[in-house]
Structure 1
Amino acid sequence: MPSQKILILSGHPGESSLSKSLCQAYSGAAEAQGHDVRFHDLSKMKFDMDYGQSGYENSKPLEPDLDAFLSDLEWANHVVMATPLWWGSIPAKLKGVFDRALLPGRTFDTRNVSFMGLPRPMLKGKTARVLLTSDTPSIFLRLFYGNAVKKTISRQILGFVGITPTRFTSFAPATDANEAKVSKWINQAAGLGAKAT
């Protein structure tokens, strides 16, 4: 497999988390196989996550951490994100990254729309892997909630700007997972990293 340019976003706002451990395992294995990895840690990113009322015409200037993230998103051909499932969705700070950084003119083109009126995505040619931790087993996410969080991430966020397909790997139930289970998950993330998938 040719070398991949991989952006990894540890999307848990806490300094230590299962999400970060999964990302670190993926990153280490990918780098060991010669892939070029750029790692972003949500817990260390400093920015105002509130988009505010200014609109796209007068949007807030991107803080250095968001500007670096967006530049690396444009650079990458594969995006890896780990996130916990909180109240059926992603953490507010992680949503803030997308609210602030996915800007017209860099990630989608409002001057060039489809026959359905959707702006042209500008990040085509990239794929994604989401490492989703939760206390809700995958089967219940599908049966009771219609995989809502997966649809939001894959279609309304990443897919909207052209990043497709998005593949998911679920790790659940996570809160009370024992050491053996966590170790197995870490090895699973490393296996994905070694294949850069």
Structure 2
Amino acid sequence: MNVLLVFAHPEPQSFNGALLRTAVAALEAAGHTVQLSDLYAQSFEPVSDRRNFTAAHDAAYFKQQAEELYATKHQGFAGDIEAELQKLAWCDVMIWQFPLWWFSVPAVLKGWVDRVFAMGRAYGSGHIYETGFFRGKRALLSLTTGGPAGAYQPGGLQGDVAGILRPIHRGMLQFTGFTVLAPHVVYGPARQSDEEREAVLAAWAARLIDLAHEAPFEVGTY
């Protein structure tokens, strides 16, 4: 498999960083090819505007979707966007590694979606959900939380984690055609012992070895 890892954490030595390194090692040991988008290390610009493009469809009025369609037809995406689009086209599986911040992804990862999931290349012209451009590809969220597992269950303090992640699973991944796999959620790693964290990393590595045979996750609708 060709696997794209998108990493969104400012500290490489964090537990998110450990999960990332574990994933790279396990996937490569299993014979898979890995590419990495380390958004903080790349100083990826999350703000979406005219800098996304090398040419303008309408220099007087900015409408992002119109500019994306124009760039699709005229090879007009900025270099940083085109590089990420090429990775998306290349991969069979995409994994996002991130901490859950304010019930969502970090701003740099949301900005990556805003800029890279471009009309004409990621969706559009009837290519959404089952007919999306990324159909046949798989996507997996790997994330950490600050609180314990009990807080993220139905009726828990924070609410069901499946509901928290549904806007990402449904509105970003399934919308563009990805088949979604069950999220890998590590609850409160800062509160775990070294032994517990080592067991979590071992379980993550073991799961990745058989990733190609996993059944899709039931995301649900709104």
TM-score by length of 1: 0.84
- CA–CA distance in structure 2, aligned partners of residues 65 and 178 of structure 1: 39
Q: Please tell me whether residue 185 in structure 1 is matched to residue 200 in structure 2.
A: yes
Separation in 2, partners of 1:19, 1:63: 29
Cα displacement (A) at 1:119:
9.9
2:147 equivalent to 1:136:
yes
In the other structure, the counterpart of 2:64 is 55
The 1:173–1:64 alpha-carbon spacing in structure 2 relative to 1, beyond 3 Å, is same
Quote the Cα distance in structure 1 between the aligned partners of 2:83 and 2:196. 34
Offset of 1:7 from its aligned partner? 0.8
Q: Which amino acid aligns with 1:58?
A: E
Aligned pairs, number: 190
Contact 2:6 2:37 in 1 (8 A): yes
Which structure has greater strand proportion? 1
Q: Match for 2:107: what amino acid?
A: A
Match of 1:30? 27
**How far apart in 2 are the matches of 1:45 and 1:125?**
28
Higher Cα radius of gyration: 2
Change (3 A) 1:108 1:187: same
Identity within the alignment, %: 24
CA separation of 1:71/1:113 partners in 2, compared to 1, >3 Å: closer, same or farther? closer
The structure 2 residue matched to 1:146, chosen from 152, 160, 166, is 160
Structure 2: distance between partners of 1:43 and 1:112: 33
Instruction: Give per-residue Cα distances to partners, 1:121-160, cap 9 Å, x unaligned.
Output: 2110011221110023344323242333321221111111
What is the one-letter code of the residue matched to 1:133? T
Structure 1 gaps of 5+ residues are: none
The alignment yields a C-alpha RMSD, in angstroms, of 2.4
Unpaired runs of 5+ residues, structure 2, are: 50-61, 213-222
Describe the shift of the 1:62–1:183 C-alpha distance in structure 2 as closer, same or farther (beyond 3 A): farther
